[in-house]
Amino acid sequence: MKKALAYARATDTCVSPKSFFSCFFVLFVDEVFMLKNYLKIAFKVLLRRKFFTFISLFAISFTLIILMVATALFDNVFAPQPPEDKADRSLYVMGIRLQGPESQSTGPAGYVFLERYVRTLPNVEKVSIYTTPNVVYSFWKGGKIKSFLKRTDGEFWQIMGFRFLEGGPFTAEDEKSANFVAVINEATRRKFFGDEPAVGKMIEADGQQFRVVGVVGNVPIFRINPFADIWVPISTSKTNAYKSQLLRGEFQAAILAKSSADLPGIKSEFESRLPGVEFPDKREFNTAIGGADTMFEFASRMMIPSQQMESQPRKLLAIIISLMVLFMILPTVNLININVSRILERASEIGVRKAFGASSWTLVGQFVTENVLLTLIGGVLGFFGSQFVLKLIADSGLIPYAEFHLNYRFFVYGLLTALFFGLFSGVYPAWKMSRLHPVQALKGAGGSR
């Protein structure tokens, strides 16, 4: 009680506005002075109730960390980031489902299918066809090196914006004349050659010899389309069997449209071509289902079970958002609880301040400052905490070449949510209490119910 009185004296002796306007005016004039004072008090109050402060900070920063890690993982898979820097006008045909009277099969398409039905799409700037990454081994200087190998074409390098550390991509010409050339990533260069440059040197992979023409930065494994350790031309395949693979195979395609406005047209054109697919044996398969998708649309196709394997990006987004909200509810309720308790505990302090002539607005100003300060400290802790956790995940090696970036937009959303509920649960009761008669407030009447 004594302490509360001391605080009251420190702030209120010079302020005694009667009406709303004068109060506002005084607040405005003395803004700088008041803000400094508010901050001082806020700090003191936070330090006085260390336990409550700790709980609030823990809740805010912990919630932010989870939110940040989740969005970073999400972005790592879906957000447009290099090498997929033209994601706004890119589509992918990553798999098709084939249905027949007795069986169905879902997986990457055959080379011929993509050549026939994707390569020929209208309003398209470029189409690239590539295999899913295969595990291959190289026996190198007495050791074994395991890498992912992707076979692709010259267009691949024009659709994806790879960052070349050395040399450059192979070309459509290399693909046509089946040159044994390879682009490797940084990690592979280190495994083969240590820190020395690799361009011009030979590597062995899966029993074949390739001349390295370029070295690119590592691509995270979740960027399913560009990801590999070693990229070589499709025509270097061990056999020519892929040229007769119609439906099922190991190929995917990336489509680069001339502009993002053409994407819907390309999608519907591709889907309208599917009923016309020629099946070599209708007793095995007679229907093809699939689509030209963005990464997220494709994920919704695969994750939400449905007979026709439709793309339902909205439904997937709704599921993700509701999970997020479900997760956020508990910390929010906790925060509200703590805040309400804190304010109730300070009922007598509010009473004393009122008795010394503090207006409701002054009190509200003080509590707002306190809450903002608390949220900001929590935000800073959350910021560094999430950096730390993301680094921990990246260093754990669970996800090869993982590269996480904080999503600042979501960081701000998280902070604003914390601030909103902080204000709603901390300032609103305080404001209501400050409207009470000082005597009642002093007796703690605002708190018991």
By CB under 8 A, name the one of 114, 288, 338, 423 that touches other proteins.
338
The first and second tokens of residue 115, run together, are 């050549």
By CB under 8 A, name the one of 33, 54, 388, 420 that touches other proteins.
54
The answer to whether 331 contacts other proteins (rule: CB under 8 A) is yes
CB nearer to other proteins: give 232 or 263. 232
CB of 30 to other proteins, least distance (A): 33
Contact (Cβ atoms closer than 8 angstroms) between residue 27 and residue 361: yes
Quick note: the x/- pattern for other proteins over 121-160, rule CB under 8 A, is -------------xxxx-x----x----------------
Phi/psi for 8 (5° steps) reads -60, -45
Phi/psi for 355 (5° steps) reads -60, -30
CB of 325 to other proteins, least distance (A): 11
Tokens 């994920």, residue?
299
Return d(Cα 381, Cα 65) in angstroms, integer: 9
CB nearer to other proteins: give 91 or 145. 145
Tokens 């302490």, residue?
3
Phi/psi for 358 (5° steps) reads -70, 135
Return d(Cα 251, Cα 95) in angstroms, integer: 8
The CB density around residue 191, as the number of other CB atoms within 10 Å, is 18
The one segment of 8-16, 176-184, 194-202, 277-285 that binds other proteins by CB under 8 A: 277-285
The answer to whether 273 contacts other proteins (rule: CB under 8 A) is no
CB of 91 to other proteins, least distance (A): 26
**Near other proteins in 61-120, by CB under 8 A:** 62, 66, 100, 102-103, 105, 110
**Near other proteins in 369-398, by CB under 8 A:** 398
Contact (Cβ atoms closer than 8 angstroms) between residue 68 and residue 386: yes
Query: Side chain identity at 318, as an amino acid letter?
Result: A
Query: Side chain identity at 417, as an amino acid letter?
Result: T
The one segment of 169-177, 190-198, 327-335, 358-366 that binds other proteins by CB under 8 A: 327-335
The one segment of 58-66, 172-180, 296-304, 378-386 that binds other proteins by CB under 8 A: 58-66
The one segment of 117-125, 211-219, 335-343, 369-377 that binds other proteins by CB under 8 A: 335-343
**Near other proteins in 178-237, by CB under 8 A:** 206-207, 237
Return d(Cα 177, Cα 366) in angstroms, integer: 75
Contact (Cβ atoms closer than 8 angstroms) between residue 126 and residue 256: yes
CA torsion 345-437-421-331 (nearest 10°) is 30
The answer to whether 445 contacts other proteins (rule: CB under 8 A) is no
The first and second tokens of residue 200, run together, are 């011009």
**130 Cβ contact partners less than 8 Å away, ≥ 6 residues apart:** 150, 151, 152, 153, 156, 225, 234, 251, 252, 253, 254
Number of Cα atoms under 13 Å in the Cβ half of residue 106: 13
Q: How many residues bind other proteins (CB under 8 A)?
A: 55
CB nearer to other proteins: give 43 or 58. 58
- Where on the chain is the footprint of other proteins (CB under 8 A)? 51-52, 54-55, 58-59, 62, 66, 100, 102-103, 105, 110, 134-137, 139, 144, 206-207, 237-239, 241, 244-249, 280-281, 283-284, 326-327, 329-331, 333-334, 336-338, 340-342, 344-345, 398, 444, 447-449
